[in-house]
Amino acid sequence: MTSGTIHDIGYRRYDGRRLGRSYVLRSLYVHNLRAAWGLGRPARAKVMPFLLAAIMLLPAAADVAVVAISREPELLWRYSAYATYLQAVIAIFLATQAPVLASRELRFHVVPLYFSRPVGHLDFALAKLAALTTAMFMLMAVPVTVLYAGGLINQVPDPGGHALRYLSALAGAALYAVVLSALALAVAACTPRRGFGVAAVISVYLLSSMFVLSVQGIAEARTNFAFAGWMGLLTPFNLVDAVQVRLLGAQKSAVAVPPAPLGGPVALLLCVAVVAVSIAVLYRRFRKGADL
Amino acid sequence: MPIIATQGLTMRFPGVTALNDLTVAVEPGVVGLVGANGAGKSTLIKILLGLLPPTSGRAWVLDLDVAHQGALIRERVGYMPEYDCLPPDVSATDFVVHMARMSGLPPAAARERAADTLRHVGLHEERYRPIGGYSTGMRQKVKLAQALVHDPQLVFLDEPTNGLDPAGRDEMLELIRRIGTEFGISVLVTSHLLGELERTCDHVVVIDGGRLLRSQPVAEFTADSGTLAVEVEEGRDALGHRLADAGLSVRPDGRLLLVDVAGEHTYDLIRDAVVELNLCLIRMERRRHHIEEVFTAPQDAWRQAPPMPGPPPPATAPPVPPAAPVGFTSPPAGPPGGHPWTPPPGGAADGRGSGA
């Protein structure tokens, strides 16, 4: 071997293990989860997600403090309503972080490097959806957990009921996470530009909720409460709240939810449809983006 | 065993035929893939990676069928795209480690291989900085490193010298050469700079319009053309006439004389002529073919110009000067057409003859 320097030990072959699909999928998931929080990227990429997470946490901490000082347990916020109260913060988190996962690798043409390796197109899309869902769940579940823990510390009455409501709120948070992430990823993947992605996600959220709120206002003024409830299915936060109210036994936080027997299943079905369509959109988008 | 084999490979897009009945097989080593833009190179790589099903025909990479063993192929090959494919806000180390894991390497092995590979391609301390601040040369190295990090048996390098300055180009070519020889990894490298391929490759495949034009070892492309190039300081014309009189086939080419080698005695004749005319001989070298000639020369002429000794008939002149072989083969009286090769009394048509 003609070695240039004393450190040059020449090329070494790799005879070690090569792990299969589940390892690659897991690595991809962790990579995307870290990217959603700006980890492994420069400091300025971490500012937005952690700032928003702190803002999410603030009301819960303040509320626990109020309960502790005033000794009035009914001041503790309802767990299931937390996401609805803070939907603006959640929407901003979605708008800033969904393009990071959905379009960053399209914009910089990194996608073909994945598909020239043993990474499947569907796995690629699923890992991204799972990663953003997890990040969103963390964003919403941590403050709710703070509320619950604060309630326990302050010895609010009916601990069993609180535990039940807490668990159902966690299930609701998981549903919020997957539906909101799916919608935001599908919208953000449509443009490789980050700025457009942010604007598109926030406007889908804002326009749909403004439209639904105004129609609901008119319907309620005419005492057509059922119609107002059904209209609620057209905006993501209201849609998930309908499932929470009708299937998870929560109290209503949105303006209106669809009536009892059909409302819950229809809302859940719609959630599933949103996720399925979003996966299909992501799959097609990344397939196209894989053009060498 | 051939590393890449195709059989009647055809790829039609709406309105375009990217590959047309391509049948070729290449052995391990450094293989160049040449073709103009749009000749079908990228389409071929995509098919070989198993990412694009061909319209018809079959292809094998490392003895694996691209039609239904694409995943196995993608585990065993590396791919360096032509265009920029790096995220700017990640360090080269993190990026290459991630790509190693995407190929199935466990975390510890991925880190170790990434450090090794980046060192081999020549990235040192800068590999901890975000890629956004890298020069084009450094980016090309990162792209190469991610293609090699999982120790593939074959790498596809698409235009690896694109955008590099001459020094970076030399470094990259040297690296490709080392990948083939020292690392023991077969390479399929595309380029439209044929001189580069002559330097790095063992074998060159030329495709044009999706069709196979030629597949040969580089040695055959650059074989001896059977022509001597002779340069003297002054008196080129005089020497030319003297050699023509001696029965050699001689043509002018700029400041040079091209002499067809008719055997060992040709060298002696030239030497003697130079001495007798008391000229100053600058050089005398055997002309080699260049891969470029595949494109510039008419096909038939090229095929008929083997590196053969013996007196060639005038019609089979090597194609370097595309003009008809006129010149010293006729007596010094020359054709009356005022050709620059007639002696000065005949009247030079342009200024070139007056210096003699």
pLDDT one-digit tens code per residue, A114-154: 999 999 899 999 999 999 999 999 999 999 999 999 998 88
A31, A104, A118 ranked by CB distance to B75: nearest: A118
Do both B32 and B72 map to the same domain? Answer: yes
Residues of B with CB below 8 A from A30's CB? none
Q: Determine the pLDDT at residue B351.
A: 38
* Whether residue B228 sits in one domain with residue B201: no
Question: Is residue B169 domain-resident?
Answer: yes
Domain final residue, candidates B170, B197, B221: B221
Residues B109 and B12 occupy one common structural domain: yes
A-proximal residues of B, 219-258, CB under 8 Å:
none
> What is the reported pLDDT for A86?
93
In a domain, B109, yes or no: yes
Q: Which of B288, B309, B336 represents a domain boundary (last residue)?
A: B288
B4-13 and B154-158 strand pairing: unpaired
- Both B185 and B240 in one domain: the answer is no
Say how far apart CA B306 and CA B15 lie, in whole Å.
39
Condensed to tens digits (0 to 9), the pLDDT of residues A63-110 reads 999 999 988 888 889 999 999 999 999 999 999 999 999 988 989 999
Residue B354, in any domain of the structure: no
Number of folded domains in chain B? 2
Give the per-residue pLDDT at B297.
Answer: 53
Set of chain B residues whose Cβ sits within 8 Å of the Cβ of A40: 90, 94
Q: What does the DSSP assignment read for B283-312?
A: EEEEEE--TTHHHHS-HHHHHT--S--S--
- pLDDT tens for A176-199 read 999 999 999 999 998 888 889 999
Specify the pLDDT at position B282: 86
Nearest alpha-carbon partner for A52 in A135, A128, A144, A133: A135
> Which residues on A lie below 8 Å from B98 (Cβ)?
27, 31
Q: Are residues B272 and B205 in the same domain?
A: no
Which residues neighbour B20 within 8 Å (Cβ) at sequence distance 6 or greater?
Answer: B10, B209, B210, B211
The Cα of A2 is separated from the nearest Cα of chain B by a number of Å equal to: 10
- The phi and psi torsions of B317 (rounded to 5 degrees) equal -60, 140
Going by pLDDT thresholds of 50, 70 and 90, the confidence category of residue A35 is very high
Query: Does residue B297 sit within a domain?
Result: no
Count of CB contacts below 8 A, A vs B?
102
B204: closest CA of chain A, how far (Å)? 22
Band of pLDDT at residue A7, cut at 50, 70 and 90 = low
Domain that holds residue B139: 4-221
Chain A contact probe: residue of B85, B149, B188 with most A CBs at under 10 A: B85
Residue at B303 is within a domain: no
Mention every residue, 6+ apart, whose C-beta is less than 8 A from residue A211. A234, A235
Interface ipTM: 0.88
With an 8 Å Cβ cutoff, are B103 and A31 in contact? no
Tell which of B264, B288, B312 closes a domain.
B288
**Residue B340 falls inside a structural domain:** no
Q: How would you label B226-243 residue by residue, b for 16+ Cβ within 10 Å and e otherwise?
A: bbbbbbbeebbbbbbbbb
Q: Are residues B155 and B245 in the same domain?
A: no
Residue B78 and residue B19 share a domain: yes
Q: Which DSSP symbol is given to B91?
A: B
In this complex, the residue of A11, A17, A113 whose CB is nearest that of residue B146 is A113
Domain harbouring B237, CATH code: 3.30.70.980
- Cα(A205)–Cα(A195) distance, integer angstroms: 16
A290 near B CB under 8 A = yes
- Residue B310 inside a domain? The answer is no
Q: Are residues B153 and B198 in the same domain?
A: yes
Inter-chain CB proximity B74 and A117 less than 8 Å: yes
Co-location of B70 and B165 in the same domain = yes
Q: Which residues pair with B285 in a beta bridge?
A: B229
> pTM higher than 0.90 for the full model?
no
Among partner residues B46, B87, B158, which is closest to A105 by beta-carbon distance? B87
Residue B141: CATH number of its domain: 3.40.50.300
- Distance (Å) from the C-alpha of residue B70 to the closest C-alpha of chain A? 9
Q: What mean pLDDT, rounded, does chain A reach?
A: 90
Mean pLDDT of the A210-225 span = 89
- Predicted confidence at residue B347, as pLDDT, reads 37
Q: For the segment A160-181, what is each residue's pLDDT rounded down to a tens digit?
A: 889 999 999 999 999 999 999 9
pLDDT of residue B117: 94
Q: What is the pLDDT of residue B185?
A: 94
Residue B119 and residue B196 share a domain? yes
Task: Return averaged pLDDT per consecutive 10 residues of chain B, 356 residues in all.
Answer: 91 89 92 84 89 91 92 93 91 96 95 94 91 93 95 94 90 93 93 82 89 86 80 86 86 85 85 88 81 59 38 42 43 39 39 37
pLDDT at B338: 36
- Tell whether B199 lies on the interface with A, counting CB pairs under 8 A: no
* A4 Cβ under 8 Å from any chain B Cβ: no
Within-domain flag for B202:
yes
